[in-house]
């Protein structure tokens, strides 16, 4: 689960990492532009009032009392380039910034209005896992503010690594050493080591897949402030991470949100063919084959594994798309073909889909699956590539 910036920052702040003072402005569905402008301006006004009397000192990172940053709360990267982060010198400008952001992306559900921090320099810090070594991996750089992939390519010598043994845990000398390796000294080095410790605590206690602060600001008065947060909670740990809930604002579309609640792996695309397949690897391969054949994908959806009895719900999700055809490909062994075929036939009977369905269902008890589909008037295919070509031809209007 990818947390939004403000959610991640709340976790950081709780762990003792300084974040800029902020207000969250939610975007009411169906609300007027005027109302959004006013509420954003009000948030900015509140922040500068706080800055003026020095309130909220725990969070306050010596904000410029007039300036704010308005940031779209979306989980996609590259917000700056996409025009989803804007600075504003006054509350009125903040209101205009909010409107401009929404005109760029109407799906934005929340805006974070933050005090502007006076920045001396920007660092990079992240914790993730290193699969081959089975260690937790801390990466840091004195050249923050750009994506780590870019940094690793363009200035690999600036990226410092520390590997943490998952049983011994992070040691103080490791955080300290990392600070010195970045060329930090004095109080800044001490603060940095503390931030590393706090972020490690967040990473471990929240079962994170990634905990990243980029940029990590060093302010003009020498304080370290998290300029952004990227906190991805491991989906397999959500059972024991009760504080995090799947919420609508984490998703671009209603369908993605509905699928997540259902536990059905689903990715939204904008093409013609809805994939309703079983098995992650096979679905990914069918996605490739559709592209090879000149088709486009409307959605990736998996109803295999524990979801193999959920054909009806899976088909319902596909039907929410503007796709032209639903392509069902499975090769299940534990997830039995006959059970899937029965589920599909029932789903078709109940949902009466308004678009053609191409099936290619193989695996355990496939003879019975084929018969079930035939009895329901579907001509089942048994070759993946043939099924893909058929779906692409239907999507292009070359056949029914």
The set of catalytic residues is 124, 212
How far apart are the C-alpha atoms of 215 and 237, rounded to whole Å? 27
In the numeric block, the tokens 């750009």 are attached to 146
- Token pair belonging to 105: 């992306």
How far apart are the C-alpha atoms of 177 and 162, rounded to whole Å? 9
Supply the angle between the helices 186-205 and 172-181 in degrees, to the nearest 10. Answer: 130
State in angstroms the smallest separation of the CB of 7 from another protein: 19
Name every residue whose Cβ is closer than 8 Å to that of residue 174 and which is 6 or more positions away in sequence. Answer: 138, 162, 164, 196
| DSSP assignment of 311-331 | HHHHHHHHHTS--SEEEEEEE
> Which of residues 219 and 307 has its CB atom nearest to another protein in the complex?
307
- Token pair belonging to 335: 């997830």
How far apart are the C-alpha atoms of 299 and 287, rounded to whole Å? 9
State in angstroms the smallest separation of the CB of 77 from another protein: 7
Task: State the residues that interact with another protein by CB under 8 A.
Answer: 77, 129, 131-132, 134-136, 147, 149-150, 153, 165-167, 204, 207, 209, 234-237, 239-240, 265, 267, 277-285, 287-289, 291-292, 300, 302, 304-306, 330-335, 362-364, 384-385
> Which of residues 254 and 383 has its CB atom nearest to another protein in the complex?
383
> Which of residues 61 and 395 has its CB atom nearest to another protein in the complex?
395
> Which of residues 282 and 327 has its CB atom nearest to another protein in the complex?
282
Name 232's bridge partners: 2, 210
State in angstroms the smallest separation of the CB of 291 from another protein: 4
Name every residue whose Cβ is closer than 8 Å to that of residue 126 and which is 6 or more positions away in sequence. Answer: 138, 139, 140, 148, 210, 211, 212, 213, 214, 230
- Find the farthest-apart pair of alpha carbons in the chain and give their distance in angstroms, rounded: 78
How far apart are the C-alpha atoms of 274 and 268, rounded to whole Å? 9
State in angstroms the smallest separation of the CB of 245 from another protein: 18
> Which of residues 51 and 279 has its CB atom nearest to another protein in the complex?
279
In the numeric block, the tokens 């920052």 are attached to 9
State in angstroms the smallest separation of the CB of 25 from another protein: 27
> Which of residues 88 and 361 has its CB atom nearest to another protein in the complex?
361
């Amino acid at each position: 689960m990818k947390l939004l910036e403000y959610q991640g920052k709340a976790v950081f702040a709780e762990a003792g990492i300084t974040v800029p003072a902020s207000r969250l402005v939610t975007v009411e569905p169906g609300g007027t532009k005027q109302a959004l402008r006013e509420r954003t301006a009000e948030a900015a006004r509140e922040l500068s009032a706080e800055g003026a009397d020095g309130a909220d000192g725990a969070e306050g990172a010596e904000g410029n009392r007039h300036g704010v940053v308005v940031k779209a709360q979306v989980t996609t990267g590259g917000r700056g380039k996409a025009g989803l982060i804007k600075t504003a010198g006054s509350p009125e400008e903040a209101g205009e910034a909010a409107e401009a952001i929404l005109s760029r992306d109407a799906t934005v559900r929340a805006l974070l209005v933050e005090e502007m921090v006076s920045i001396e320099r920007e660092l990079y810090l992240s914790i993730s896992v290193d699969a081959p070594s089975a260690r937790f991996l801390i990466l840091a750089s004195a050249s923050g503010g750009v994506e780590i992939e870019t940094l690793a390519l363009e200035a690999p010598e600036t990226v410092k690594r520390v590997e943490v043994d998952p049983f011994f845990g992070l040691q103080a000398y490791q955080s300290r050493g990392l600070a010195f390796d970045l060329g930090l000294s004095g109080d800044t080095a001490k603060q940095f080591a503390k931030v590393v410790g706090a972020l490690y605590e967040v990473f471990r206690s929240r079962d994170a897949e990634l905990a990243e602060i980029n940029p990590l600001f060093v302010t003009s008065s020498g304080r370290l402030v998290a300029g952004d947060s990227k906190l991805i909670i491991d989906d397999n740990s959500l059972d024991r991470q009760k504080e995090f809930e799947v919420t609508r604002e984490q998703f671009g579309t209603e369908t993605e949100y509905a699928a997540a609640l259902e536990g059905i792996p689903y990715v939204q695309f904008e093409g013609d063919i809805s994939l309703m397949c079983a098995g992650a690897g096979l679905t990914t391969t069918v996605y490739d084959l559709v592209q090879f054949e000149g088709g486009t994908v409307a959605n990736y959806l998996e109803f295999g594994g524990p979801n193999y009895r959920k054909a009806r719900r899976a088909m319902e999700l596909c039907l929410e798309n503007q796709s032209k055809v639903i392509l069902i490909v499975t090769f299940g062994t534990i997830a039995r073909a006959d059970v899937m075929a029965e589920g599909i036939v029932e789903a078709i009977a109940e949902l009466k889909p308004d678009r053609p369905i191409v099936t290619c269902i193989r695996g355990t008890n496939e003879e019975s699956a084929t018969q079930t589909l035939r009895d329901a008037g579907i001509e089942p295919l048994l070759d993946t590539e043939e099924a893909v070509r058929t779906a692409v031809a239907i999507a292009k209007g070359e056949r029914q």
